[in-house]
């Protein structure tokens, strides 16, 4: 009986030691993660300072203030109509052409309806751009709102 109690106490001590090491490891991960967030300015590396998606009205305000607008439709769609003073880089070419875009400016990404622009936004965020958003409703909503196209 005494042997059983001693074995049981040893097992409990070993279990407590293991729990202590696990707790220390968890604390270390949390502390290091906190330092990483502080170093990154409190945001994950891919977070945008702009909302993920904005309305066409918000996009037009940014456009009027000189924000860089990137159209990711096809050249055929672009030739049909586009917003003046915007830049065309089709979505399928974007990963190879991100170096053509300004990293120090806000970028509003637009397409026909908003689906491709969301994909393009995520490509840019993944490439290290910080100020990127996409337009909900795209150029269809832009044109329907009466905003300029050529």
Q: What are phi and psi of 49, to 5 degrees?
A: -80, -10
Measured between alpha carbons, how far is 48 from 45 in angstroms, rounded to an integer? 9
Please tell me which residue in 111, 124, 132, 139 is annotated as part of the active site.
Answer: 111
DSSP codes of every residue in 74-127 = -HHHHHH---TT-EE--GGGHHHHGGGS-TTS-EEEE-SSSHHHHHHHHHHHHT
Instruction: Let me know if 113 is a catalytic residue.
Output: no
The answer to whether 55 touches 142, Cβ cutoff 8 Å, is no
Token look-up 């990127």 returns: 132
Q: Alpha carbon of 48 to those of 31, 70, 122, 133: distances in Å?
A: 24, 16, 10, 8
Catalytic residues: 111
């Amino acid at each position: 009986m005494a042997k059983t109690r001693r074995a049981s106490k040893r097992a409990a001590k070993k279990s407590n030691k293991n729990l202590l090491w696990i707790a220390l490891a968890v604390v270390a991960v949390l502390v290091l993660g906190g330092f990483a967030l502080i170093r990154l300015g409190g945001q994950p590396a891919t977070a945008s300072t702009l909302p993920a998606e904005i309305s066409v009205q918000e996009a037009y305000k940014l456009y009027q203030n000189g924000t860089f607008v990137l159209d990711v439709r096809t050249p055929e769609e672009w030739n049909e109509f586009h917003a003046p003073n915007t830049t065309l880089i089709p979505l399928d070419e974007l990963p190879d052409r991100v170096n053509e875009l300004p990293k120090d400016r806000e970028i509003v990404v637009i397409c026909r309806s908003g689906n491709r622009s969301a994909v393009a936004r995520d490509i840019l965020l993944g490439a290290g751009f910080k100020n990127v958003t996409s337009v909900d409703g795209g150029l269809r909503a832009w044109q329907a709102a009466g905003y300029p196209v050529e």
